[in-house]
Chain A
């Protein structure tokens, strides 16, 4: 368990999220892939904050937990994003009667 393994795990999760966002037809599956990408970014923040937070910056700011603070802000923004996104999904369902992404050029 080192910085490289944590960052590699986060990179693989991020790429899987990109793949889901690009290829899924259902809008909820796209949302789930987005949440996966947010989680990998949080993992990157916490890993770098744990392993290589420089002491100079730590004494400048006065704390050693800056990575976790960033992760908390990302979690908050992700929660706001999913609330509004689900509102949009409900509105789409009310208008269309379906939540499939049918009008994209990749749909068959």
Chain B
């Protein structure tokens, strides 16, 4: 019950922040609304038992990416009227409504319970072997770190290389041509 109330608060915050971000003319204020969305989604992660991901969300999105975005906002000519729209608003609304209807219809017509019961749901698996991490006699691991370094180690290394490449690329782009 209390979970539902907290989820409703966070969902309302996320939706309100997103719509305000689109609607406001002031680019700086819409960046702050984006921060509200990030924090609300971090709260929903906590409700979904993803505490580490919530911390990562606050650190990376609220801490780093929003600072970068606000720094880039300073490049705009006139920040107070920078967040304007083009003439595609009506077709964009139609397209977005169609996409939303497609997503919601496909979500409603999928029988999620059949999918989860066919393979025994996560709840049963959790009750069998995982709800008690101390009683972890089976090979179900509970830390993200062991999963990252065993099953997904190739993707982990590839992402490290991608981060290095993007670091070098961003430095090269920002330095410009005239310095050499």
Contact = CB atoms under 8 A, between A and B. Distances in A.
A80 B158 CA distance: 12
A89 B75 contact: yes
B122 A83 contact: no
Interface residues of B, number: 97
Contact of B76 (A26, A51, A80, A94): A26
Interface string A10-21: 011111111110
Interface of A: 1, 3-9, 11-20, 22-26, 28-29, 31-33, 35-36, 39, 42-43, 46-47, 50-59, 61-69, 71-73, 75-84, 86-91, 93-94, 98-101, 104, 106-108
Interface of B: 3-4, 7, 11, 14-15, 18-19, 21-22, 27, 30-31, 34, 37-38, 41, 44-45, 47-50, 52-53, 56-57, 60-61, 64-65, 68-69, 71-73, 75-77, 82-89, 92-93, 95-97, 99-100, 103-104, 107-108, 112, 115-116, 118-122, 124-126, 128, 130, 138-142, 144, 146-148, 150-152, 155, 159, 162-163, 165-167, 169-174, 176
